[in-house]
Structure 1
Amino acid sequence: MNNDIVAIKLDKERTLKFRRKELKRLENIFGKKISQINFEDIDIDGITKMIHAGLLHEDESLTLEKAEELIDSSDMSFGELTKAVMDAFSISMGGPRISGEETKN
Structure 2
Amino acid sequence: MTMAVPFKIIQLDRPRKIKFTINALILAETLCGKPGGQIVMDLSQTNYETAAKCLFAGLKHEDKDLTFEKTKELIDEHIDNMFNFVQIVSSAFSAANGIEIDINETLETTAVKAEETSPNI
- TM-score bin (small chain): 0.7 to 0.9
Identity across the alignment (%):
33
User: 2: distance between equivalents of 1:21 and 1:42?
Assistant: 23
What runs of 5+ residues in structure 2 fail to find an aligned partner? Answer: 106-121
Matched pairs, number? 102
Which residue is 1:64 aligned to?
68
User: Taking structure 2 as the reference length, what is the TM-score of the superposition?
Assistant: 0.72
SS at match of 1:69: helix
Q: CA deviation at 1:30?
A: 2.4
Bigger Rg over Cα: 2
Which residue is 2:101 aligned to?
97
Greater helix proportion: 2
Q: Which has the higher contact order (CA 8 A, sep 6+)?
A: 1
Which residue is 2:19 aligned to?
17
Which residue is 2:85 aligned to?
81
User: 2: distance between equivalents of 1:42 and 1:26?
Assistant: 16
Q: CA deviation at 1:6?
A: 0.5
Aligned partners of 1:9 and 1:76 also within 8 Å: no
What runs of 5+ residues in structure 1 fail to find an aligned partner? Answer: none
Q: Which amino acid aligns with 1:64?
A: F
Which residue is 1:26 aligned to?
28
SS at match of 1:73: helix
User: 2: distance between equivalents of 1:69 and 1:36?
Assistant: 25
